[in-house]
Structure 1
Amino acid sequence: MQYIRYIKKYLVFIGFLSSHLYSFAGSYEDFFKAVQFDDVRTVQSLLQRGFDPNTVNPAGMPGLMIAVREPSLKVAQLLASWPKVKTEVRNDKDESVLMLAALKGYLPLVKQLVENNADVNKTGWTPLHYAASGGHVSIVEFLLENSAYIDAESPNGSTPLMMAAMYGSPESVKVLIQAGADLNIKNQLGLTALDFAVRGNRQNAKELIETGLARLAARKAKS
């Protein structure tokens, strides 16, 4: 009899476990499908039922990263604000969610990520590099207001100003210069921000940097 009771309990446990696993599998598929299609209601419902917001897909990518990549901005905003979500996640190129949001110009999402402890000053390429490359002035200003290091150096020593000079907008170059970016820094190839502007054939950026350099020279001459 005791053996039979044991078997019954074991079967009940196996049934419960199977039901739980089946439920998780369904939720897993529903979650990533909802992320892909920016179905914020389904994602919110799953999270409220206890689904882990940091669950990764078969490629090892969490929902927040996928939402920014798609883009699924309503879902991204929800996940970025959700308690216990890991905002400081990276892809295989060492790009953070904040970097991708900054590159694409998603200011509300950038603000939410920073509020939820995303790293403004990660080592290597930074969110400010990416915001400058995209020419997104409002994001450049926001990151600087939140202690982003203006002369952060990439792995090859390039700065946000260099990225703005070659890829960004004249407005982003102007904002960085006015905020005190160093115009004379050289990267590992010996290139300055002015060199980047010339190589990128960015005449407006070139003129802004030349004006900044002239002002620096004039101040130095007076001192």
Structure 2
Amino acid sequence: MASFLGDHELVKTLLSSGALPNIQNYEGNSPVFASANFSNNKILKLLLDNGGDPNLLLTQEYVYNSPLMIAAINENIEGVRLLLEAGADCNYRNQLGNSARKIGEASLNLELKALLMACDNPT
């Protein structure tokens, strides 16, 4: 909940107390996904630095979007960079056939397009 609220200090305290960065709620939402979604990049970095999985999928509605996909959809450039640096798979395809790379191809944001098109994950 702390990551959903954007409370960096609380997230830091929880992680140092042993909280799991990859825990998912009843909708399949995780702290990493929420931070990427809401552009809470300071928290996103903290989570990734403490074992947060950049490829943990949102299972809500059975679409299975990745944190990188939601960061790209929201044009969260810093979040995209952080996730790629942490090993996010830009070629992962969800149930609808979409990937972060495809989102980048379609984007009018040239910086986002360049970041995702330069991604060197194997297909």
Tell me which interval the TM-score lies in, with the shorter structure as reference length: 0.7 to 0.9
Per-residue deviation, residues 48-99 of structure 1 (Å, max 9, x unmatched): xxxxxxxxxxxxxxxxxxxxxxxxxxxxxxxxxxxxxxxxxxxxxxxxx134
Per the TM alignment, residue 133 of structure 1 is displaced from its structure 2 partner at its CA by: 1.4
Is residue 142 of structure 1 aligned with residue 78 of structure 2? no
Partner of 2:118: 211
Residue 36 of structure 2 is aligned to residue 129 of structure 1: no
Question: Which string of whole-angstrom CA distances, capped at 9 and with x for unpartnered residues, describes residues 151-177 of structure 1?
Answer: 001112111111111115211111111
Deviation at 1:117, TM superposition (A): 4.1
Higher RCO, Cα 8 Å, sep 6+ = 2
1:134 deviation in Å?
2.0
Aligned residue type for 2:22: N
User: Structure 1 residues 110 and 202, CA, compared in 2 at 3 Å: closer, same or farther?
Assistant: farther
SS state at 2:20 partner: coil
Pair member with larger Rg: 1
Work out whether 1:196 is the aligned partner of 2:97. no
Q: Go from structure 1 to structure 2 and tell me whether the alpha carbon gap of 1:110 and 1:162 turns closer, same or farther (over 3 Å shift).
A: same
Pair 1:98-2:2 in alignment = yes
TM (normalized to structure 1)? 0.47
**CA distance 1:134–1:168, shift in 2 (3 Å):** farther
Q: Counterparts in 2 of 1:22-171, with a 5 A limit? A: 97-101=1-5, 104=6, 106-123=7-24, 124-155=28-59, 156-171=63-78
Q: Which runs of 5+ in 2 are unaligned?
A: none
Q: Distance in 1 between matches of 2:109 and 2:32?
A: 20
Which of the numbers 81, 89, 104 marks the counterpart of 1:182? 89
Unaligned runs of 5+ in 1: 1-96
Cα displacement (A) at 1:118 = 3.6
Cα-to-partner distance string for 1:21-65 (whole Å, 9 max, x where unaligned)? xxxxxxxxxxxxxxxxxxxxxxxxxxxxxxxxxxxxxxxxxxxxx
Q: What's the % identity of the aligned pairs?
A: 28
Question: How many residues get paired?
Answer: 117
Distance in 2 separating the partners of 1:129 and 1:202? 21
More helix by share: 1
- Cα 1:98–1:206 change in 2 (3 A) is same
